[in-house]
């Protein structure tokens, strides 16, 4: 297994990796993993979930999958989405938990943020399978206090030509309901949620990475970007009025 890392994008120098605390993972398609764990290799080739989702959700045209085995010995993940429109073809994230006898004190829950709805915590119970949108569902893994916590994470992907970007934002007309619709539009919702959840988001970045100059730079960049986001989002928040109960897109 290899350390899980956050990928940092530097406009001038490309990308770098910031390792997370106490989280290791293995790609099931990696030759070394296949040789050491043939059953894991067989799971990578099993298309059952991909086929069944395509049958029951005909709007999806899933073509491929990638799976990681993960071992958590006390780490966590910051708030994030697994993909974005135009980045890659991933559209469904599936997490299968392997934690017999899990107890609440052990932590490691999955927290979903279907903003503007309230956050939802899901316990990593043994044999539980959780599915959500790779592109739109903000989520994190809360700190684990158990010695060992295991899961498989699977990303199910459509082809690049099948990607369906969100409908463009309509011109702003200034009403309170229109401000709300703009806030929850897929092209703006993640930015609005980032501003709304800013303190928890920053704390999740601190908890997931050991202290280092790279973590300090990550946090500095986060607050700098948030200042830009605030100039767009805050005026909408100040006058937004939801037209009715929020509708959450889980998949």
The structure's pTM equals 0.90
The answer to whether residue 218 is domain-embedded is: yes
Last residue within a domain, chosen from 101, 133, 162: 162
Contact indicator for 66, 23 with CB cutoff of 8 Å? no
Q: Helix 213-239 and helix 176-183: axis angle, to 10°? A: 150
Structurally, how many domains does the chain consist of? 2
Residue 215 lies in a domain: yes
- Same domain (yes/no): 144, 188: no
Out of 162, 187, 206, pick the residue that ends a domain: 162
User: Do 46 and 121 lie in a common domain?
Assistant: yes
Assess whether 108 and 190 both reside in one domain. no
Q: Domain of residue 87: give its range.
A: 2-162
Give Cα 97 distance to the centre of its chain: 16
Q: Indicate whether 96 belongs to any domain.
A: yes
Q: In terms of DSSP bridges, do strands 110-113 and 129-133 run parallel, antiparallel, or are they unpaired?
A: unpaired
Residue 23 and residue 59 in one domain = yes
Tell me, yes or no, whether 45 lies in a domain.
yes
Per-residue pLDDT of the chain (251 residues), as tens digits, is: 888 888 877 666 667 788 898 999 999 888 888 888 888 888 888 999 999 998 888 888 899 999 999 999 999 999 999 998 877 889 999 999 999 999 999 999 999 999 999 999 999 999 999 999 999 999 999 999 888 899 999 999 997 656 666 676 666 667 888 888 888 888 889 999 999 999 999 999 999 999 999 999 999 999 999 999 999 999 888 888 776 555 555 44
Instruction: Provide the CATH number for the domain around residue 11.
Output: 2.60.120.620
Does 201 fall in a domain?
A: yes
């Amino acid at each position: 297994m290899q350390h899980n890392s956050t990928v940092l994008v530097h406009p001038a120098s490309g990308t770098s990796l910031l390792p997370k605390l106490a989280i290791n993972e293995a790609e099931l398609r990696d030759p070394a993993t296949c040789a050491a764990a043939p059953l894991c290799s067989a799971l990578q080739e099993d298309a059952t979930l991909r086929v069944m989702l395509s049958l029951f959700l005909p709007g999806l045209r899933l073509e491929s999958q990638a799976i990681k085995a993960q071992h958590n010995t006390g780490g966590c993940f910051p708030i994030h989405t697994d993909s974005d429109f135009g980045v890659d073809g991933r559209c469904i994230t599936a997490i299968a938990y392997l934690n017999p006898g899990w107890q609440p004190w052990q932590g490691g829950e999955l927290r979903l943020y279907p903003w503007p709805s309230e956050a939802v915590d899901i316990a990593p119970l043994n044999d539980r399978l959780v599915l959500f949108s790779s592109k739109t569902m903000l989520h994190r893994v809360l700190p684990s206090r158990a010695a060992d916590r295991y899961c498989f994470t699977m990303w199910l992907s459509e082809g690049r030509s099948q990607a369906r970007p969100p409908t463009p934002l309509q011109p702003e007309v200034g009403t309170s309901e229109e401000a709300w619709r703009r806030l929850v539009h897929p092209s703006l919702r993640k930015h609005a949620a980032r501003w709304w959840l800013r303190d928890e988001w920053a704390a999740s970045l601190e908890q997931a990475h050991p202290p280092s100059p790279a973590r300090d730079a990550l946090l500095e960049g986060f607050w700098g970007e948030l200042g830009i986001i605030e100039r767009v989002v805050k005026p909408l928040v100040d006058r937004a009025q939801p037209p009715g109960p929020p509708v959450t897109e889980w998949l």
